[in-house]
A and B are shown apart, each in its own frame.
Chain A
Amino acid sequence: MLRAGGVLLTMQPLRRLLALALAAAVAAPAAARIRVVGSTTVSPVVAAAARILREERGLQIVVDTLGGSSGGIAALGDGRAEVAMSSRPVLPSDRERYPGVRFREVEIGRDAVALAVSRDVWEGGVRAISRDQARAVYEGRVANWRELGGPDRRIVFFNKEPGRGTWEVFAHWLYGDSDLAPLVSLPEVGSNEEARNKTRSTPGSITQLSVAWVDGRAIAALAIVGDNGQLVRPSGPSLASGAYPLARSLLLVTDGEPAAETARLIDFLVGVRGQRLVAAHGYLPLSSGSAASP
């Protein structure tokens, strides 16, 4: 490999280009490519599995996060992907839009959506939030952290884009149905990386973020104040028992029964090693939650 690189560097530019083109043509996949598109919450686990399967079985798996969960389901519906990654269930509206597609969901783990705040808010004394408070903040009726027992600072709500699984779970929690979410004008964030980085670097900010992305240092996850006044933290036990309200399934969606190679990817992820990957990325593996959750 090293020697080949050396030869490439000493070649004339045009020849080098030709050689590269030739190498690319030779390296073109012999095996079928599996295109996996969707949620940035699910993608780190699938990408890790794809790397392992590429090395061990030579499977060509391309993982892309264009458009989040809804983007993935649209890609599956249009035949631009073999597998959709989704952090929200397939909705009736999806089935309506793609009547010819037999959506088949496989759960590979569970995750919680945290209401994550920047460090200054956490250290200023805001540690928990109730549903009513969250709704007031989301709708802009509460605009300063002082009203939630925190520092005197304006609230910056980085709203996850609609269509993202994270946002769907949040809106479902606040309004029962994401279609009932009112018109708000908030700065929006797309991927989990963007939400995390902007929350980390903006004083007074809060965002909806998958717990796996909350580091507990520069950003922290608020506990939820339950209806009976007790605090529910987005962590293992309350997640497994189903007590944490903003929990959700991480799904792989296919059109009917998956083809042999695609099935191999799914089997790997629900298997022992795949579940270990799920846990390693900060999510809840199937075995721990399935006993308690319906």
Chain B
Amino acid sequence: MTGVALRRPAGPRFEPTRWAAWAFSALAAGTLLAMAVLFAVQSLPAWRHEGLGYLTGTTWFYRGELFGALPMIYGTVVVAAIALVLATPVALGAALFTGEFLGGRRRLWIKIPVELLAGVPSVVYGLLGLLLLREWIYRLLEPWDPLSGDTLLTGGVLLAVMILPTVMTLADDALRGVPASQRKAARGLGLTATEVAWRVSLPAARPGLVAAILLGLGRALGETIAVFLVIGRQDNRWPEPLWSLAPVTGAGQTLTTKLGGSETWIAYGDPLHWGAMVGLAVILLALVLSLSLAGGSLALAGRKGA
């Protein structure tokens, strides 16, 4: 009779952990979805008012009800691109050093401080940028007669410093994910350590490395306060001709710095103006989401391939 009490009851068993996991996942996904829907609905007046011109217009003047977001999209893309171009080689180089050439515990001596850097609040980077970087860029650009040290370039360089730890530590993880047996086999075939790094580890870790770069790019796109302090926040800077360097050496505006400014407070309560501001958030959300999805699927593909 006692054995019966120990037997599991028939039928589906109640598993609180599983239920909680489902509930929390649904909550996270639902929040994101609700946010996206809310933003999209609230931004409708702007799309109705401007049509596609909202994305292609180069003039933003709320007192005249003109809402063209292109200069801000341009600013966002340029700043993120500068950050990526500057940060990627350094980050990958550092990851190669820690992942390939520093074994075991010694690798942590570098990796842990770098991960601490990734956790420094962005306003701290912003203040450093304000104090040091603006002056430096101003002197660097002096031959081109810059108006001030607030430029898209300053924002890009600052962002490069900020995303460097993220990209580096993720790239290091990707390189460590390459099985040691592959390296040993390559060394056994007579390849030098450098050749192993270039011919074996880097190609094998490529999806992970790309994911690391894309995640860094995602952070660069979404960063607000640090860029806010050094970019100058100048509206309606659209390059003529498109490839001239003038806008890069001058002040500009990104999607996030516009949203972080006081105009958000003015817009509140006016459906059209508010819609135009929220629309910027929609554009940003779309940019970051597509990048995260690309990064995630690449990382997944990498894991399958390994």
Interface residues of A (CB under 8 A from B): 67-68, 70-71, 74, 97-98, 154, 156, 158, 161-164, 179, 181, 183, 185-190, 194, 197-198, 201-202, 204-205
Contacts and interface: CB of A to CB of B under 8 A. Distances in A.
A140 B265 CA distance: 27
Contacts of B63: 179, 181, 183
List the 6 shortest-distance A-B pairs measured between CB atoms, nearest first: A187-B232, A163-B262, A67-B265, A187-B251, A97-B269, A188-B233
Contacts of B138: 202
Interface size range of chain B in the complex: 20 to 34
Interface stretch (B24-32, B106-114, B234-242, B287-295): B234-242
Nearest to A74: B265
A198 B232 CA distance: 10
A177 B174 CA distance: 59
Contact of A156 (B66, B134, B147, B261): B147
A74 B251 CA distance: 29
A67 to B, nearest CB: 4
Contacts of A205: 148
Interface string B32-45: 00000000000000
A9 B149 CA distance: 43
Contacts of B232: 187-188
Interface of B: 59, 61, 63-64, 66, 130, 134-135, 138, 145, 147-150, 229, 232-237, 251, 261-266, 268-270
B266 A162 contact: yes
A181 B64 CA distance: 10
Contacts of B236: 183, 185
Contact of A161 (B150, B251, B261, B270): B261
A67 B150 contact: no
A185 B235 contact: yes
A68 B265 contact: yes
Contact of B262 (A70, A154, A158, A183): A70
A198 B236 CA distance: 21
8 contacts: A68-B265, A70-B265, A71-B262, A74-B265, A156-B147, A183-B59, A185-B234, A202-B148
A135 B59 CA distance: 21
Given A154-B147, A201-B135, A185 B237 contact: yes
Contacts of B134: 201
Nearest to B134: A201
Given A158-B148, A161-B263, 13 more contacts: A67-B262, A74-B269, A97-B269, A97-B270, A161-B233, A161-B261, A162-B262, A185-B237, A187-B147, A201-B135, A202-B138, A202-B149, A204-B147
B255 to A, nearest CB: 15
B135 A183 contact: no
A164 B263 CA distance: 9
A156 B148 CA distance: 7
Contacts of A190: 261-262
Given A183-B61, A186-B234, A163 B150 contact: no
Contacts of B263: 161-163
B150 A187 contact: yes
Contacts of A185: 234-237
A197 B147 CA distance: 15
Given A185-B234, A187-B232, A201 B262 contact: no
A179 B270 CA distance: 15
A265 to B, nearest CB: 23
A164 B262 contact: yes
A163 B265 contact: yes
A107 to B, nearest CB: 22
B273 to A, nearest CB: 11
